[in-house]
Structure 1
Amino acid sequence: MTTVLGTSLDLPTQDGTADAYLVHPDDNSPHPGVLLYMDAFGLRPHLRAMADRIAAAGYTVLVPNVFYRNGRAPIMELPDFIDPSQRPDIFETLGPLIFALTPELVVRDAEAYLGWLADSPLVTDGPVGVTGYCMGAGLALRTAGTFPQRVAAAAGFHGGRMATDAPDSPHLLAENITAELYFGHADQDPGMPAEQIERLNKALTAAGVRHEAEVYAGAQHGFTQADTAAYHADADARHWEAVLSLLNRTL
Structure 2
Amino acid sequence: MPATTIPGATTVRSLDAHIAVPDGAGPWPGVVVLHEAFGLNADTRAQADRLAAAGYLAVAPNLFSAGGVRCLRSTFSAMLAGRGPVFGDIEATRTWLAARPDCTGRLPRDAREILAGACPVVAGYGGSDLSLRGAAATLEDLLTELGVVHDVTEYPGAGHSFLSTVEGPLASVMKVVGIGPHQPSADDAWRRILAWFGTYLAPPAR
TM-score, normalized by length of structure 1?
0.67
1:182 paired with 2:101, answer no
Which deviates more, 17-26 or 108-117? 108-117
Task: Please give the secondary structure, in 2, of the residue aligned with 1:11.
Answer: strand
Match of 1:204 in 2: 143
1:51-97 deviations in whole A, cap 9, x for unaligned?
A: 111101111110000122226xxx8xxxxxxxxxxxxxxxx994554
Distance 1:14 1:44 in 2: 20
Q: Secondary structure at the match of 1:18?
A: strand
Residue identity (%): 30
Match of 2:156 in 1: 217
Q: Greater share of strand residues, 1 or 2?
A: 1
Q: Indicate yes or no: 2:107 matched with 1:128.
A: yes
Distance 1:67 1:7, change over 3 A: same
What is the SS of the residue equivalent to 1:34? strand
**Partner Cα distance (2:197, 2:185) in 1:** 18
Q: CA deviation at 1:220?
A: 0.7
Give the CA deviation at 1:45.
1.4
| C-alpha distance in 1 between matches for 2:43 and 2:71 | 20
Q: Greater CA deviation, 8-17 or 218-227?
A: 8-17
| 2:39 corresponds to 1:61 | no
Q: State the shift of 1:35 in Å.
A: 0.7
In the alignment, which of 140, 146, 166 is matched to residue 111 of structure 2?
Answer: 146
- CA displacement 1:109-163 (0-9 Å, x = unmatched): 2321111112112212x3226xxxxxxxxxxxxxx56256xxxxxxxxxxxxxxx
- Residue 29 of structure 2 is aligned to residue 49 of structure 1: no
User: Closer, same or farther in 2 for the Cα pair 1:118/1:145, shift >3 Å?
Assistant: closer
SS in 1 for 2:59: strand
Counterpart of 1:99?
77
Corresponding position: 1:232 with 2:172:
no
| Equivalent in the alignment of 1:115 | 95
Residue type of the partner of 2:52?
Answer: A
1:11 and 2:11 equivalent?
no
Instruction: State how far apart, in whole Å, the 2-side matches of 1:220 and 1:25 are.
Output: 31
Structure-1 residue corresponding to 2:132: 192
Which of residues 22, 27, 42 is equivalent to 1:30? 27
Change over 3 Å in CA distance of 1:93–1:115 after alignment to 2: closer
Runs of 5+ unmatched residues, structure 1: 1-5, 76-91, 130-143, 149-172
**SS across alignment from 1:226:** coil
Return the alpha-carbon distance in structure 2 between the equivalents of residues 216 and 248 of structure 1: 22
CA distance in 2, matches of 1:112, 1:96: 18
Q: CA deviation at 1:22?
A: 0.2
Q: Is the 8 A contact 1:33 1:123 kept in 2?
A: yes
Aligned residue type for 1:66 = L
Give 1:26's aligned amino acid. D
Residue 242 (structure 1) aligns with: 192
Distance 1:217 1:248, change over 3 A: same
